[in-house]
Structure 1
Amino acid sequence: MGLSRITLENFRNHAATTLGETAHFNLLVGENGAGKTNLIEALSLLGPGRGLRRANLGELGRRTAPDAAPLAFAIGASLTEAGAVTARLGTYSEPGQSGRRLVRINGAPASAARLAEWLALTWLTPAMDGLFTDSAGARRRFIDRMALAIAPDHAREVSAFETALRERARLLESGGDPRWLEALEHRAAAHGAALARTRAELVQRLADELSALPSEPFARPLLTYRPGGPMEEGALAEALARGRARDRAAGRALTGPQRDELEVRMAGSGQLAAACSTGEQKAMLIAITLAHSALAAAGRPSVLLLDEVAAHLDPRRRAALLSRLAAGSAQVWMTGTELAPFAAIRDEAAVWQVSAGSAAPL
């Protein structure tokens, strides 16, 4: 299962690009700046959220000149199973509304959240290399994106929780009706408890997947979910009510899943990932990505997007990675500046040469 008949119109530097015959392995090869990452970013937008670059929608449409307004863009792809098309997914903007992303599933309008019901996406990019030294918020976003693999409506729970917290903060500041404040706290607690449960389940399932992996050639990470408050709805509502004075003074809620943390340590040494070497951090990040891809592949088409990953691995780890990917059920998309790192899978892969916003099969 995977994607085929992929089309891009006016997306980034791609005026009109089509990727037709796809395979289990799909390679995008070309010079830096040719538009390889733009192609896999387009695929990442066939799921909820802002894609692998977390870009504003106004940045996505192609510009005919540096100071020109972005054109309306469109991305489409077919879901296939055993060579048969099972669905058509699309996302696009409309002229003059570059800040609004629209979605169609089988030709009918749909919410972006519904895309997760059809397709599970996992990705790894060089920009993620600093995850373990980044903020706790970055790791929460990392968890929430992965959580869509086991709970397609998770994004709605996160959005509803954040909205309730913002409204509560405004009401605390203005000294509004206590009854409305209580209602907001119960609403926040309902959504907060739901998203916290999903995060905890995801981390546990990832930990189970990782526990079965050998520590070589990729460093095996140990994952721990540390909740930022009670995970039961009633207890969370009570904690929010008790913390009103403190939260009013702080200007934000100090208890709840908005303060959750993902702790990552390296198996064997027990050292925090943030204190490990750059190579060890990369190896652990790859291990987590592969574990998530294995989870995501259960029950839905699954696509794994790997940007410039092979070139940064030594031959032993590269061979191990390609072997793992070959054994998995997720369709794999990889980018690189040359074909040499992919020699082991070249004959079974679909390959495109990407150049100046176009792609031609090799």
Structure 2
Amino acid sequence: MPDRYISRLRLSAFRNYTSAALDLDPRHVVLVGENGAGKTNLIEAISLLSPGRGLRRAAFETLALSGSDGIWAVAATIETPFGPADIGTGATGDAGGRRVRINGANARSVEEMSDYLRILWLTPAMDGLFSGPASDRRRFLDRLVTTLIPGHSAAVNDFDKAMRQRNRLLDEGGDPAWLSAIEAQMAEIASAVHFARTDSLGHLQAVMTANVADTGFPEALFDLSPLFEDFAPETSSALEAGLIARWRDARALDRAAGRTTLGPHRVDLAVTHGGKAMPAGLCSTGEQKALLIGLVLIHARLVQQMTGITPILLLDEIAAHLDPRRRAALFDALERLETQCWMTGTDPVLFDELGARAQRFSVSEGHVAPLGG
């Protein structure tokens, strides 16, 4: 039985929900309904109870119910070993803004939600992760790191903002002193981002090697492409100095390219199917799906080990393309993980093997009703 889980979820003017209310026990949650009924909207709402923009990465001003005043809200009660915690987030009324409230008080930052719960998700949009662009894999990696280090997402955003400022100054022929100041700021942030990524991947690989057999899914091997081809800095100060020097030397090149050509925004995450010694992008669609599921299951275990909080999992249309053996392996792995998992699907039969381990809800046109079981 999970030691923390969502016991109550409330939505107001969110996506296609005028309102929604679910009262829950610790078991897994299965949401069944036709495509477009609002299943993914529901788990997207939960994903917003974590740093970042949620599983669709949507702008906050686009989340409100069509025809409403633009003010949406998501609230949940989280049962924890230390008692229940009420967490809510919603639009501020300002363009692009949102606020977070915890136990009735305004939170100082969105990262405070991570003191009470951690959240991981898989969606059908991620099925092409291993064969798609490097930017998707970086984003996926940063999401995993943020589940371990809540401030990581903000650091990545801060680097991107500083880099855009540098690019603009280069284009405008800005003052070299200003460029040096911005590059120093970028280097400090880039160092934090880089070492958060590499440290997290190192821990993830160790837990993967030790525990992958328990998941029933294949082992994934990870490799992050280096920032520099000619040396590997081992300290933050060495990395910062290297970045500052290379950005200074590359100003003419970057001005001509219209972008910053070196930095943590250019690295790629390589994933290999351990059992086949084959790059994940060359594996079959089914093998890629299995690798991705196994990776998330192992990362959930890592988060539990490092933070003491087992993340809640949001698995959108997870069972549709799994054969019966893989479905059984997934459900058994979720039980061993001892967390609350939210799963969506169009066919309730796909979740029959969960039996009494799940509570089921029907979703139809923005309305949710218990199915029983």
TM-score, normalised via structure 1 length = 0.92
Matched, 1:107 2:104: yes
Q: Offset at 1:69? A: 5.8
Q: Which amino acid is 1:307 matched to?
A: D
Matched, 1:29 2:32: yes
Q: Offset at 1:197? A: 0.3
Partner of 2:91: helix, strand, or coil? strand
Q: Offset at 1:300? A: 2.7
Match of 1:168 in 2: 166
Q: Which amino acid is 1:315 matched to?
A: P
Confirm or deny: 8 A CA contact 2:123 2:318 kept in the other structure.
Answer: yes
Matched, 1:296 2:300: no
Q: Offset at 1:83? A: 9.1
Matched, 1:54 2:57: yes
Question: In structure 2, do the counterparts of structure 1 residues 51 and 137 end up closer, same or farther at CA, with 3 Å as the change threshold?
Answer: same
Partner of 1:53: helix, strand, or coil? coil
Q: Which amino acid is 1:166 matched to?
A: R
Match of 2:130 in 1: 132
- In the aligned structure 2, how far is the partner of 1:173 from the partner of 1:355? 51
Q: Offset at 1:183? A: 1.1
Matched, 1:38 2:47: no
Confirm or deny: 8 A CA contact 1:116 1:148 kept in the other structure.
Answer: no
- In the aligned structure 1, how far is the partner of 2:298 from the partner of 2:214? 13
Matched, 1:342 2:342: no
Of 241, 265, 269, which aligns to 1:262?
A: 269
Match of 1:222 in 2: 221
Supply the RMSD in Å over aligned alpha carbons.
Answer: 2.0
User: Per-residue CA shift, 1:69-100, capped at 9, x if unaligned?
Assistant: 66321100012125931x211111145x4632
Partner of 1:214: helix, strand, or coil? helix
- In the aligned structure 1, how far is the partner of 2:209 from the partner of 2:326? 19
- In the aligned structure 2, how far is the partner of 1:20 from the partner of 1:109? 24
Q: Which moved more, 1:122-131 or 1:336-345?
A: 336-345
- In the aligned structure 2, how far is the partner of 1:166 from the partner of 1:71? 29
Partner of 1:132: helix, strand, or coil? coil
- In the aligned structure 1, how far is the partner of 2:70 from the partner of 2:142? 30
Partner of 1:149: helix, strand, or coil? helix
Match of 2:253 in 1: 246
Question: In structure 2, do the counterparts of structure 1 residues 183 and 276 end up closer, same or farther at CA, with 3 Å as the change threshold?
Answer: same
- In structure 1, list runs of 5 or more residues that go unmatched: none
Match of 1:329 in 2: 338
Q: Which moved more, 1:344-353 or 1:313-322?
A: 344-353
Q: Which moved more, 1:108-117 or 1:329-338?
A: 108-117
- In the aligned structure 2, how far is the partner of 1:122 from the partner of 1:101? 21
Q: Offset at 1:336? A: 1.7
TM-score, normalised via structure 2 length = 0.90
Match of 2:236 in 1: none
Residue correspondence of structure 1 range 197-236 to structure 2 within 5 A: 197-212=195-210, 213-214=212-213, 217-229=216-228, 232-236=239-243
Match of 1:320 in 2: 329
Q: Percent identity, aligned pairs only?
A: 44
Question: In structure 2, do the counterparts of structure 1 residues 192 and 44 end up closer, same or farther at CA, with 3 Å as the change threshold?
Answer: same
Q: How many residues were matched structurally?
A: 356
Match of 1:150 in 2: 148
- In the aligned structure 1, how far is the partner of 2:179 from the partner of 2:95? 36
User: Per-residue CA shift, 1:19-59, capped at 9, x if unaligned?
Assistant: 11232311112222221111101000111111111222233
Confirm or deny: 8 A CA contact 2:6 2:24 kept in the other structure.
Answer: no
- In the aligned structure 2, how far is the partner of 1:83 from the partner of 1:320? 32
Match of 2:368 in 1: 359
Of 172, 177, 186, which aligns to 2:184?
A: 186
Confirm or deny: 8 A CA contact 1:120 1:300 kept in the other structure.
Answer: yes
Q: Which moved more, 1:181-190 or 1:24-33?
A: 24-33
User: Per-residue CA shift, 1:238-277, capped at 9, x if unaligned?
Assistant: 2212211211111111111011110011113322111111
